[in-house]
Structure 1
Amino acid sequence: MKTELFGVFGDREQFARFRSPAEFDRLLGGESVTVGIRDPHLDVPNRTSVHRAPDGFCVVWGEVFAPEGVERPASTWLFDRYATEGNDAVEGLNGSYVGVIECDGDSLVFTDPIHSRECFYTDTPVRCFGTDTAELTRVIPSPTLDCRGLCEFVHFGLTFGETTTIEQLRRLPFDSCLFPDAIEPLSRFVYEPRSFDYTEELAARLERAIDRRAAYPGTSGMLMSAGFDSRVLLARLPEVDVCYTLGTPRTPEVRVARKVASQYGTRHETLLVNESYLAVDPDIVQYTNGIRESVHIHHRGNTAEITADVIYHGLFLDTLLRGRFVPHDTVHLDVIDRDFPLPRLDPDPDIDRHFASKFGFYGDTDRPLIDCPEIDADTSEQFLKDTIARHYKRGFDRADSRYNAMALLGIKAKSALPFKTHLADQFLESFVAADSELVDWHLTTPPEHRNDRTYQKALRMIDPEIFRYRPPDRPHRSYQLNQMEKYLRKKLPGVSPFGTPWPDRDQIYDENDLDTRLFAGRPDIQALPPRIKLRINDARMWLEYARGETAEKPYDFVRSEPTL
């Protein structure tokens, strides 16, 4: 990758055993930790920041803001504060980052509260850490597959908790610090709901979060849909040079996005879907880090057409602010045999099925697709229940209710993170959703108020005309009315149904004859749904890329002739 952080808990000599210092823009070494960073935006304010001192150093890699009123770089401020406050010092940072501190011989590694930039580690036996799992895998003498991680990846499209697809490689636990021989939890992400004006406060915090990120140098662009999240950025940013929307000029999503861009005086470009929409080469799959599927990198085939220097997007705003992972109650209408949503939380949610739907779980097999002795489940359905139960229950050390525990599991998963990881490696990418004020709003707002009603009201406070052009699949202000019209459009003759904002993945898969290209000789795999086949190829491609070798039988980790 163009951007990377890699380090060892050791001196420069130990660092050089694993990586060449020449690979990095900066190399900082102390008594107990050495770290190298690569970032083309090192000299840009509020980006990667480095501080050196006689008694240590501090690196904060990514997008990072010191507290309001602090004029010094974030790394300088953090180093000085750590000397007096210890681990609590990291609570004052804002942004999307990975940090490393050495001070008076003590050393630690940490990420932002929601792990929007993730850190991984391995003990070789020297503890190494970094942001690129492929590079970390290459320092492991004999890396072996983690069958549980592979099974989670193929069935869910992601791995959970600290698990990766390599046994000796682990992800830094959520909201924690990594030390030379220990891991300690932090308490930045803990649900503590309270009463306040949720709408007014959300509007004010969104404005401040966007304003913090409005002054980057160069031309600015936005990856834009016709939905809610990207348009609030467009309404608040003082200037965006160009908006990009994936699709074709005639699709409703592109037409509405073009109107919204014109409303705010911004040029609009359509990124046409091409044969590279499902590109499966290592240049793309590396951004999954081997733990998430690549289908979320929707712009992969159009990167060369995105000519802006700075890229904004609305990823994860729905997760933090609109309750994407919180289940709502429904009522069943017998006359049309359909469930319709109600404006309240589900009093008795089916947690397993809820996450199966959200994560795209594949359960249409009698047994899991990966043979793994560590998994005590004879069926795919049991694997779903066991996996979700284990990780959902772990959330109650930070959550006060089942709804917040469910929201936390979704935030930990961050299934679409490869979208951001790719952008952050190709452009100066800004991530509004990671703003500490928005994270705090999420943690202090009760789940029943983190919904579309609160969100849309807040957006209208930012700009009363923000919904001049409604999203094509949400023509009404009422969620219930939108769902009713969606149903009627599917059933009534002569009325076109709502479209999807994304291209038809299955059609593109078939048009590119990916079965022949990827799975020749494996008719059992060819019989699976395209999304599952793409997951299997992601796993195979990343494993070969990370280990630097092409497997003679690349899909041996999948059971032969799975029972469908």
Structure 2
Amino acid sequence: MVGREAFSELNGSFLAFVEYDDDAIIATDPARTWQCFYADTPDGRVFGTNPQRVLSAIPSTEVDTRGLLEYVHMGVVVDERTVFTRLKCIPFDGYITASGAGTLSRFVYDPADPDEFDYVDELASRLERAIKRRTIYPGRHGLLLSGGYDSRAIVAQHPDIDVCYTLGAPKHPEVKAARSIANQYGADHETLIVDENYLNVDEETIEYTLGTRESIHIHHAGCDDKIDVDTIFHGLFFDTFLRGHFLPRNVVNLFGNKFPLKGLESDPNVTEVLSSKFVYHPACDHVFPECYDEFDTSLGFIDDVIQEQLDKWSDRYDNVYNSISLIGIQNQPTLPFHFELSDNYIESFVAADAELIDWHLKTPPEKRNTKTMKQAIRKLDPNIFRHRPPDRPYHSHRKNQIEKFLRRKLPLIEPFSAPWPDLQAQYAENELDHKLFPGYPCIHKLPVRVKLRINDITTWMNAAVDNNVLTPNDVLCPPERLLTDS
């Protein structure tokens, strides 16, 4: 009998339910790109992908204040916790049964012998196969395409992308670059013009956070009526699995600016690295001591959360860099992007391919970088960089960083910019302090990203328990015991 090891034979982004005789099991893919929630009730265990439906089976539940504070300070609720004590998530690389929960052993760092595993060649061939596997999806195929590296690998290898979509202003350099890339590979191109819907605070969008992630990453949600395809492709997680998004790069600080050096930071502080990646704001520290006596600062709280996770998962990583990647991937903030797409289209999650995850686990952290990926996709198509990313005009990472610095400092030269609106400016233009937090002047002083998180989780929790028991102040500074009736 193969048993639970059979899940190692599956490929892609999935949540599998298997019933055999009187037993049943639910398992995730190795990276837990799908969430499953469960709760134990007097009538037995209930589960589902919609946490609000699971909560409806619980007569009453207590708010998990630690989970709530994790959400506000980091934008994620860590590991298996949620913002309600009796509502749990399926474990990372794991499964649940009718009465238990556990983990499998598919996501464990185990670097391969470099004499037998060529990182560039392996990545090139695995990317080619991963994309080819997904060319059979039905209907009209679309791709969310930027001017960067990740999504262009898909349009270069997929023979039948019908149309590419880029979010931004039509005349922005990155949109122009994406248009040129689409034309290079024979695909149509359409610009998803950003407007007031870019900063989407509707309950229908916040629902895709599942109460464990912030909604800011669902930046395309206001453009769904303009996307006319059956199957949608994207480059989500390419930077995470293939280019070391969570890894601390070696830099030198000069004149208040960071300039990159070769390699990784020699002695990284795990908490500082991950809190930065999760977008922690030090401005929260002035309110935190009033709300949680156990820690002096919010960074102290975050350090406690992360150290707990490092201890729990210590058998899955072999060095400090992989520990950072593991905790980052387990609690990836951008998953609502995937949840919203999969609910509206047939979604192709290329980076979740089992071979690409295996490459990530076998490749040492110093080789999981943009240079390796560029070499790999250049093997697939030598002309793939005919149109370079506008904010990276050179092949040299260091030269690109120097030009970014000069553009920021020199007069009469436009600095590089993102193709979408400035977050703070749009928040102010939409008068969201007045709309979201009337009567809460203390919240108005917080960073925009934190205010959006507070609105996200307040809106989601009140919708989940079908009453307005929580206020923004409760979220920012939760009382010791807070009960809700579902």
TM-score class, shorter-chain normalisation, is: over 0.9
1:378 offset after TM fit, Å? 2.5
Which of 77, 99, 113 is equivalent to 2:30? Answer: 113
**Paired residue for 2:363, among 424, 442, 445?**
445
Q: How does 1:268-307 map to 2 (within 5 A)?
A: 268-307=189-228
The answer to whether 1:266 aligns with 2:187 is: yes
2:278 is equivalent to residue 359 of structure 1 = yes
How far apart, in 2, do the equivalents of 1:291 and 1:511 lie? 28
Code of the residue aligned with 2:262 in structure 1: it is: P
How many Å apart are 1:421 and its aligned residue? 0.3
Contact 2:70-2:302 at 8 Å conserved across structures:
no
Partner of 1:472: 390
CA distance in 1 between counterparts of 2:417 and 2:285 reads 33
Question: How many percent of aligned residue pairs carry the same amino acid?
Answer: 48
CA distance in 2, matches of 1:170, 1:365: 27
Partner of 1:88: 5
Where in structure 1 are there 5+ consecutive unaligned residues?
1-83
Show the counterpart of 1:316: 237
For 2:383, what is the secondary structure of its paired residue? coil
Correspondence 1:489 to 2:410: no
Task: Write the deviation string for residues 271-304 of structure 1: whole angstroms up to 9, x where unpaired.
Answer: 1111111221221011000010000001111111
Query: Which residue in the other structure is 1:407 paired with?
Result: 325
Aligned to 2:438: 520
Q: 1:436 aligned to 2:357? A: no
Is the Cα contact below 8 Å between 1:147 and 1:371 reproduced in 2? Answer: no
Query: Residues 179 and 526 of structure 1: is their aligned pair in 2 closer, same or farther, counting only changes over 3 Å?
Result: same
Q: CA deviation at 1:451?
A: 0.7
Give the drift of 1:363: 2.2
- CA–CA separation in structure 2 for the residues paired with 1:553 and 1:101: 41
- Measure, in 1, the Cα distance between the counterparts of 2:168 and 2:155: 19
Root mean square deviation of aligned Cα: 1.6
**Which residue of the partner structure matches residue 49 of structure 1?**
none
Q: For residues 524 and 554 of structure 1, do their structure 2 counterparts lie closer, same or farther at Cα, with a shift above 3 Å needed?
A: closer
The answer to whether the Cα contact below 8 Å between 1:121 and 1:172 also exists between their aligned partners in 2 is yes
Which amino acid in 1 is paired with 2:34? R
Aligned AA for 2:121?
E
Alignment-derived partner of residue 304 in structure 2: 386
Relative to structure 1, is the Cα distance of residues 553 and 191 closer, same or farther in structure 2, using a 3 angstrom cutoff? closer
Contact 2:454 2:475 in 1 (8 A): no
Is residue 95–residue 112 contact of structure 1 (8 Å, CA) maintained in 2?
A: yes
The amino acid of 2:198's aligned partner reads: Y
Cα shift readout 1:8-52 (whole Å, capped 9, x = no counterpart): xxxxxxxxxxxxxxxxxxxxxxxxxxxxxxxxxxxxxxxxxxxxx
SS of 1:91's equivalent? Answer: helix
Partners in 2 of 1:552 and 1:115 — Cα distance? 29
Cα distance in 2 for partners of 1:555, 1:543 equals 14
Which secondary structure state, in structure 1, belongs to the residue aligned with residue 474 of structure 2? Answer: coil
Question: Cα distance, 1:344 vs. partner?
Answer: 1.0
- Any idea what the Cα deviations from partners look like across 1:202-236, whole Å, max 9, x if unmatched? 00000000000001111111111111111000000
Residue pair 2:72, 2:476 contacting (<8 A) in 1 also: no
In 2, distance between residues paired with 1:462 and 1:370? 54
Counterpart pick for 2:295 among 377, 401, 404? 377
- Following superposition, the deviation at residue 384 of structure 1 comes to 2.4
Give 1:254 deviation, angstroms.
0.7
**Is residue 338 from structure 1 mapped to residue 221 from structure 2 by the alignment?**
no
Map of 1:44 onto structure 2: none
- The 1:506–1:214 alpha-carbon spacing in structure 2 relative to 1, beyond 3 Å, is same
Give the aligned partner of residue 74 of structure 2.
156
Q: 1:511 aligns with which of 411, 415, 429?
A: 429
The answer to whether 1:398 aligns with 2:316 is yes
Structure 1 residues 550-559 or 122-131, which shifts more? 550-559
Which amino acid is 1:254 matched to? V
Once the two structures are overlaid, the 10-residue window that deviates more, 385-394 or 269-278, is 385-394
User: Matches of 1:473 and 1:235 in 2, distance apart?
Assistant: 20
Q: State yes or no: 1:462 paired with 2:380.
A: yes
Corresponding residue for residue 39 of structure 2: 122
Counterparts of 1:185 and 1:295, CA distance in 2: 30
Residue 221 of structure 1 aligns to a residue whose secondary structure is strand
Name the TM-score, length of structure 2 as normaliser. Answer: 0.94
My pick for the range that moved more, 299-308 or 382-391, is 382-391
State the alpha-carbon separation in 1 of the partners of residues 346 and 237 from structure 2: 18
Structure 1's 417 and 328: CA in aligned 2 closer, same or farther, altered over 3 A? same
- Measured after TM superposition, the shift of residue 159 of structure 1 is 0.8
Q: Secondary structure of 1:143's partner?
A: strand
- 1:500 pairs with 2:418: yes
Q: Displacement of 1:507 after TM fit? A: 1.2
**Higher relative contact order, chain-length normalized (CA < 8 Å, sep 6+):** 2
Matched, 1:349 2:262: no
